[in-house]
Amino acid sequence: MPSSDHHVHIMGAGMAGLSAAVRCVEGGLRVSLYDSARQAGGRCRSFHDPMLDRIIDNGNHLLLGGNACVFDYLDTIGASRLVTAAPDHFPFIDLKSGENWSLRPGSAKLPLWLFLPGRRIPGTRISDYLVLKKLSSAQDQDALTDYIDPTSIIFERFWDPLCAAVLNTDAHEGSAKLIGRMLDMTLLKGPPFARPFITPLGLSATLVDPALAYLRQSQVHVEFGARVTSLSLRENRATHLDVGHKTIELSSMDHLILCLPPNQIQSLIPQVQVPTLTRPILNVHFGLDEEYRLPRNAAFIGVINGISQWIFRRGTTLSVTVSRADALMEKDTDELSDQIWQEVAFAIGRPNIPRPPHRLIKEKRATICQTPAQLALRPDSVTRWKNLYLAGDWTNTGLPATIEGAVKSGQVAAKNLLNSLT
């Protein structure tokens, strides 16, 4: 184990920064963690909304049983018990046809379940599913539409919602390789790995606060409202950086892991190539006075042929997610919330309930746009500066830009740093 004279400064306390900090603590390093915001969590956070008078998340987040890095992280910070397995199926409702069905994937090795019409997505054939395995060998430059007919029913009812949820990118341009990677780790590994997990207490209470408690217990210095404004690089080292009102000098025992969004890295280190396009996600939280059930009493349901893509139920809050929401960003928010509420009211079978109090959250840069061209711009964790590492869901993790990708990126950055010290 390296000596604790080595000090790592981690910038950005989103999921990547928190997971890097946890791994560096485990590796015996002295750790300081900074974030420009007033709280940790970045794009994965909760807050008290005064209008709804309840804690809400910035957006609904779903985990899957195959998110190995996340479960490892939760184990270390003592928070595994805070995530809950949802039933092992993905319910859907088609607002145009009124049909509802449930996708319950079975064994991928011996997929006999596909022979049962009731287990398949309505309107699809067994042959539509053969492509699932082909995506495992997709190449960097391949788009999903190189493998799947975009006019097919299975495209509309499976690939399009999957691509929106996993890549936050239109399925017509999304990366086949990333979808293949995600399927390998979940659906194709078997039912326990495809199982959805939710965070009933909220994102911060589950993924963020236990990590901060763990870090503080380990004497980590955590500082909020601390924005990195400049970074100096000389030859092969980072030498100092301006954070908030102070300058941090980096000695030979000091190391830096930058867990910042790509646009921040671009302005701090123009020499590093980063993805340049992002896509927004919109969430609307409706605060009701009583609990209403979703079809099949689900915790969440996928919506086809609506503005809404997913509806989540948490107690008396119903929340809608719309990914790759570029087209909605400039729309009148009141009108949009109204339209979305009508879809929710239909889904819960109560079309006459007037729109309850609501909060609409636009995350303009929710994730990078995950097309083959943009993915080619993802930088590695190791840089040409010996004491400087990068992390973030947008870096070259080989995974989609999700919590799993962010946590993995932090773990990889920490591992690379620790390896350099042995």
State the residues that interact with ligand FAD by CB under 6 A. Answer: 11-17, 34-37, 42-44, 58-59, 61-62, 227-228, 259-261, 264, 281, 283, 363, 366-367, 392-393, 401-404, 406
Q: Which two tokens stand for residue 413?
A: 């950055």
Q: Cβ of residue 151: shortest distance to ligand FAD, in angstroms?
A: 28
Kindly tell me which of 105 and 262 has the beta carbon lying closer to ligand FAD.
262
Closest distance of CB 197 from ligand FAD, Å:
10
CB 320 within 8 A of CB 284: yes
In degrees and rounded to multiples of 5, residue 48 shows phi and psi of: -85, 125
Measured from the Cβ of residue 188, the count of other Cβ atoms closer than 10 Å reads: 21
Contact partners, residue 258, CB within 8 Å, separation at least 6? 11, 12, 228, 265, 268, 388, 389, 390, 391
For residue 281, the minimal CB distance to ligand FAD (Å) is 4
Q: State in angstroms the smallest separation of the CB of 226 from ligand FAD.
A: 6
CB of 154 to ligand FAD, least distance (A): 22
The 8-class DSSP code of residue 143 comes to: B
Rounding to the nearest 10 degrees, give the CA dihedral for residues 160, 161, 164, 167.
-80
- DSSP collapsed to 3 states, 13-61: CCHHHHHHHHHHHHCCCEEEEECCCCCCCCCCCEEEECCCCEEEECCCC
**Closer residue to ligand FAD, CB minimum distance, 132 or 231:** 231
Residue 164 or 176 having the CB closest to ligand FAD: 164
Distance, in Å, from the CA atom of 194 to the CA atom of 398, rounded to the nearest integer, reads: 19
Cβ proximity to ligand FAD: between 12 and 128 the closer is 12
Burial of 371 (0-12, 13-18, 19+ CB in 10 A): buried
Radius of gyration of the chain (CA): 22
**What is the rounded distance in angstroms from the CA atom of residue 297 to the CA atom of residue 313?**
10
When the beta carbons of 36 and 46 are compared against ligand FAD, the nearer one is 36
State the nearest-atom distance from the C-beta of 390 to ligand FAD, in Å: 10
Provide the Cα torsion 188, 190, 196, 201; round to 10°: -130
Q: In the complex with ligand FAD, which residue's Cβ is closer, 38 or 96?
A: 38
What's the min distance (Å) between Cβ of 118 and ligand FAD?
Answer: 27
* CB nearer to ligand FAD: pick between 74 and 114: 74
Phi, psi of 387 (to 5 degrees): -105, 20
Closest CA to 174 of 369, 326, 371: 371
- Which residues make Cβ contacts (< 8 Å) with residue 362, sequence separation at least 6? 280, 282, 325, 329
User: Least distance (Å) from ligand FAD to the CB of residue 355?
Assistant: 21
Q: How far is the CB of 11 from ligand FAD (least distance, A)?
A: 5
Nearer to ligand FAD, 260 or 288 (CB): 260
Nearer to ligand FAD, 209 or 363 (CB): 363
